A and B are shown apart, each in its own frame.
Chain A
Amino acid sequence: MISIRKVNKNFGKLSALKNVDLDLSMSRSYALVGPNGSGKTTLIKSILGLVIPSSGEITFANKSIASDWKYRESIGYMPQIGRYPENMTIGQLIDMMKNIRKNATELDDSLIEAFKLYKIYDKRMHALSGGTRQKVSAALAFLFHPPVLILDEPTAGLDPISVEILKEKILEERNRGKLLIISSHILSDLDELTTEMIYIFEGKVQYNNTIQALKEETQEKKLGKAIATMIGQKQLMDSINK
């Protein structure tokens, strides 16, 4: 579905992505893991066309995204920090999004219901707490039944009950055969929600396989420990090679 070919991205002297090669296919769920500033958000933003790669190509359903914008109809994106027009109310914002994506006929307002957002429809965006903002972002990402869902740290800042609601929703969509890309630091969540793992470090893809394979390779039962062991092994290999 999405293929990323030799993508590099430099911000001035800093190179955020180095020769990234990835294939993401439908009805799979990918966990995007890596330390802060390793290039996860840059990779996500490149797929969305918000960041233009310095070199390399990204294709969506075999079409290059370089000068295309229609493909974003198939993507639901939940940003890490939701930034919205401050003087709009939640209701106006949701109406505007519906208006902009008129092609979507069926709407999925289950998250609006579950988060009880309709109760605060007339609240302005600048008056919202970080968690409520996150709920709005989540509701908007799922609103148009997109076949591809890209969630950048979806559970950060949410209260425990809302986290459970969101996770349930994500699992439901996964079982419908959607392509999921989730970046997070909460590995127990990723263990539940995803089946594949992509580990990025300093802009390079260091590991790309199923979580099951990773656990078998490292002989650990928990994803967190498995990743720690994998990183330890990698560092050891690197020092030997040097």
Chain B
Amino acid sequence: MTRVIKYVFYDILRTRFILLYTILLLVSTFALFQLDSDSGKVVMSLLNIVLMVVPLVSIVFTTIHFYNSYEFIELMLAQPVNRKVVFIGEYLAVTFSLCMAFAVGIGLPMVFYGISASGLALLFNGMVLTMVFVSLAFLAAVLTRDKAKAIGIALLFWFYFSLIYDGFLLWFVYSFSDYPLEKLTLTLIALNPVDLARVIMLLQLDISALMGYTGAFYREFFGSSFGILFSTFILFLWVTIPFLISLRIFSKKDL
């Protein structure tokens, strides 16, 4: 396993994309800290990056990487190496490099300018979101043999969770606003990892008051230790379930 991880990791470093991604995050975080001295506001601005850019970069990079290492996977599978080990090794190497890039890119400036609780929460959520979208990308990659199709599916995942789902949720809440919807919207939010991360962060930043009565309800739920545990658990389900499905498909795939 470690040998497979090592070779995949070398391969990722050689493309230099990860380095570019780290620098991009570093520069934007430093710039935001320069513009504003209030760390809460900086975290708020960073939140938009985390919720839009991180999933997009993770899912597209992972899908392209998977197809670029198809030859490596093929080569390994003709050797005395377990299929699952190859797949898990690929997954861990990609997740690790993307998480490291994110942690260094956002974390380093934070350490430099003083770290806060909301900053830590942002780091944590960003990393979990990276893992979620790497899992989804692996799922997209094993669903089809065609690279272009797989990138299409991956982008569809991103559009769905970042844009389409929110639109649907807004429409739903607006049309049924006469009914008590708190519990239902809570469930609906759990069905989208991006929304889940957003709500956790907004509550961390203590601006839930802006959300009125619903905000107060969420605060009561997510603010409690049970709520935090629950939402973290759901986020990790978003990491493991797509991963396990793709592992299952991959172990029966013809090469």
Q: Are B72 and A85 in contact (CB under 8 A)?
A: yes
Q: Are B81 and A100 in contact (CB under 8 A)?
A: yes
Q: Are B11 and A85 in contact (CB under 8 A)?
A: yes
Q: Are A51 and B75 in contact (CB under 8 A)?
A: no
Residue among A69, A85, A101 with most chain B CB within 10 A = A85
Instruction: Give the contacting residue for B77; candidates A11, A49, A73, A86; CB below 8 A.
Output: A49
Render B70-106 as a binary contact track against A, CB cut-off 8 A, 1 for contact.
1110111111111100000000000000000000000
Q: Which residue of A lies closest to B75 (CB)?
A: A84
Q: Are A45 and B14 in contact (CB under 8 A)?
A: no
Q: Are A85 and B71 in contact (CB under 8 A)?
A: yes
B12 to A: closest C-beta gap in Å? 11
Q: Are B74 and A50 in contact (CB under 8 A)?
A: yes
B255 at the binding interface (Cβ < 8 Å): yes
Q: Which residues of the partner chain A approach B3 to less than 8 Å between Cβ atoms?
A: 99-100
B164 to A: closest C-beta gap in Å? 31
A188 to B: closest C-beta gap in Å? 28
The answer for the CA separation of A52 and B249 in the assembled complex, in Å, is 12
Q: Are B78 and A72 in contact (CB under 8 A)?
A: yes
Q: Are A83 and B75 in contact (CB under 8 A)?
A: yes
> Could you tell me which residues of chain B, from 85 to 143, have a CB within 8 Å of some CB in chain A?
none
B7 at the binding interface (Cβ < 8 Å): yes
Q: Which residues of the partner chain A approach B81 to less than 8 Å between Cβ atoms?
A: 69, 72, 100
Instruction: Give the contacting residue for A51; candidates B70, B79, B255; CB below 8 A.
Output: B255
B36 at the binding interface (Cβ < 8 Å): no
Q: Which residue of B lies closest to A53 (CB)?
A: B254
Q: Which residue of B lies closest to A102 (CB)?
A: B3
Q: Are A50 and B78 in contact (CB under 8 A)?
A: yes
Q: Which residues of the partner chain B approach A84 to less than 8 Å between Cβ atoms?
A: 71-72, 75
The answer for the CA separation of A50 and B251 in the assembled complex, in Å, is 10
Instruction: Give the contacting residue for B254; candidates A51, A77, A83, A96; CB below 8 A.
Output: A51
Instruction: Give the contacting residue for B79; candidates A52, A72, A83; CB below 8 A.
Output: A72
Render B214-255 as a binary contact track against A, CB cut-off 8 A, 1 for contact.
000000000000000000000000000000000000001111
Q: Which residues of the partner chain A approach B76 to less than 8 Å between Cβ atoms?
A: 100
The answer for the CA separation of A45 and B50 in the assembled complex, in Å, is 43
Q: Please list the 9 inter-chain residue pairs (A to B) with the smallest Cβ-Cβ separation, ordered nearest first.
A: A73-B80, A72-B80, A83-B71, A51-B254, A50-B255, A85-B72, A69-B82, A77-B78, A100-B79
The chain B residues found within 8 Å of chain A, CB to CB, are 3, 7, 11, 14, 69-72, 74-83, 252-255
Q: What are 17 A-B contacts with C-beta separation under 8 Å?
A: A45-B255, A50-B78, A50-B254, A52-B253, A69-B81, A70-B80, A72-B79, A72-B81, A73-B80, A75-B78, A83-B75, A85-B69, A85-B75, A97-B79, A99-B3, A100-B79, A103-B80
